[in-house]
Homo-oligomer: A and B are copies of this chain.
Amino acid sequence: MTETFRDVRIKRHRTADATVTLTLDGEPLIGREVELEQTRHKFLFGCTGFEFADLANGTSADPERDARSAEQWEGLFNFATLPFYWGRFEPERGKPDTQRLLQTARWFADRGHPVKGHPLAWHTVTAPWLLDLDNEEIARAQVERITREVGDFAGVIDMWDVINEVVIMPIFDKYDNGITRVCRDIGRIPMVRMVFDAAREASPNATLLLNDFDMSAAYECLIEGVLESGIKIDALGLQSHMHQGYWGEEKTEAVLDRFSRYGLPIHFTETTILSGHPMPAEIVDLNDYQIDSWPSTPEGEARQADEIERHYKTLLAHPLVEAITYWGMGDAGMWLGAPGGFVRADGTPKPSYDRLHHLVNGEWGTPATTIATDAEGRLRFNGFLGDYRVTCQGRKAEFHLDEPGESHLAAAIA
């Protein structure tokens, strides 16, 4: 296979040339065959995990089906996003759905997958009972809500989309809601400061994101104002729902170019690429497109697989991108009924599933491989950043590749 310019950059930013000196009982392990395997990517290959709440809570109607689904999920992903939409999490004030979601988050965490909560503040699907409060009370309820969730989930969820879609928040005019009222009243930057301060105080070491779908200069201006005001953002969240067609490399790279100017880590937080017909270009708010059936087609699935590969490669080639979260593994229950999953509604994988599986685990992964140490007991290989395990006669060593470039490590087999 010939390497593209993009592949070269992926290798440069995502892999290390490792030299690992292995020892066994204090002696260098010279000229021995061992089994080397990458057990985890440093890069966050993420997906929503909303559908595993039943399985995690022992309330599944079909545990076998859900277990198969979980296996599919872990075949591609190592990072989950769970829903904290206030209107669903706490439809009645004072009765939050904490236990069930905590159990779901632990289910992922126990499998070694970090979890992100999405979102702590948003004008859409927010608590309807905010409308009964005055603006000061709404702001207080919002802050208390953040303090509570970030505190309750600390240690299980340590990454949050703190606030979602601030660009449109104060001018959102589809329906009245408490969050738009407050944001319009106090302004975008004081709003961001208020919610970030609350989250930061509740969990000083958590990773806190600002997230938006608006890829225009508006989001740039918002970010610049927020940063200029001294608010610390740990990562920028960029949505990329492509219901109206794949962006292509040029647009994606232009977006990366513009949003990398701040030197902040970038998460592609919400990605959708369809395997059916695209939504018409004249639709402005994606929510306005409602059809009875939106089928996944063979041609669409072939195209989707190619576009998924192109999108992931474009993003991995940029050094500031640390995470890609796909917005739904399966077509079943997908936002807007769109055929955007890796898995069809009947549970069978699409070509995109196999394609990404090959990339993540094959082209970019190191499956269990037999490899020999040299005369000084050294293992030399090029591997993607992440966690590795070496096995020799049933005994193991583990090590991590954390930074691209040359990496010299030692590992004792025990």
Which of A171, A187, A221, A224 lies at the interface centre, i.e. has the most chain B CB atoms within 10 A of its CB?
A221
Indicate if A184 sits at the interface (CB-CB under 8 A). yes
Inside 8 A of A224's CB, which chain B residues have their CB?
187-189, 222, 225
Given known A-B contacts A187-B228, A189-B228, A228-B189, A167 and B261 have beta carbons under 8 A apart? no
Does A290 touch B at the CB level, under 8 Å? no
Contact mask for chain A residues 160-172; partner B; CB cutoff 8 A; 1 contact, 0 none: 0000000110110
- Closest residue of chain B to A258, judged by CB? B171
Chain B residues within 8 Å of A168, by CB: 217
Separation in Å of the A36 CB from the closest CB of chain B?
44
**What is the distance, in angstroms, from A72's C-beta to the closest C-beta of chain B?**
39
Write out the residue numbers on chain B whose beta carbons fall within 8 Å of the beta carbon of A8. none
A30 on the interface (CB 8 Å rule)?
no
**Is A66 positioned at the interface, with any CB of B under 8 Å from its CB?**
no
A218: B residues at CB distance < 8 A: 216-218, 220-221
Chain A count of residues within 8 A CB distance of the other chain: 24
Asked if B220 and A229 sit within 8 Å, CB to CB, the answer is: no
Query: How far is the CB of A225 from the nearest CB of chain B, in Å?
Result: 2
A226 within 8 A of B: yes
Contacts of A228 in B (CB 8 A): 187, 189-190, 225, 228-229
Minimum CB distance partner of A185 in chain B: B261
Residues of B within 8 A of A171 (CB): 217, 220, 258
Q: Decide yes or no whether A35 CB sits under 8 A from chain B.
A: no
Collect the chain B residues with CB atoms within 8 Å of residue A253's CB. none
Q: Which of A214, A224, A258 counts the most B-chain CB atoms under 10 A from its CB?
A: A224
B interface footprint on A168-182 (CB within 8 Å = 1, 0 otherwise): 101100000000000
A323 to B36 CA separation, bound complex (whole angstroms): 73
Known: A170-B220, A171-B217, A221-B221. 20 other contacts (CB 8 A): A167-B217, A167-B221, A168-B217, A170-B261, A171-B220, A184-B261, A187-B261, A189-B224, A189-B225, A189-B228, A190-B228, A214-B217, A216-B216, A216-B218, A218-B220, A221-B222, A222-B224, A222-B225, A225-B229, A229-B229
Q: List 13 A-B contacts (CB under 8 A).
A: A168-B217, A171-B220, A187-B228, A187-B261, A188-B221, A189-B224, A189-B225, A214-B217, A216-B216, A217-B218, A224-B225, A225-B225, A228-B229
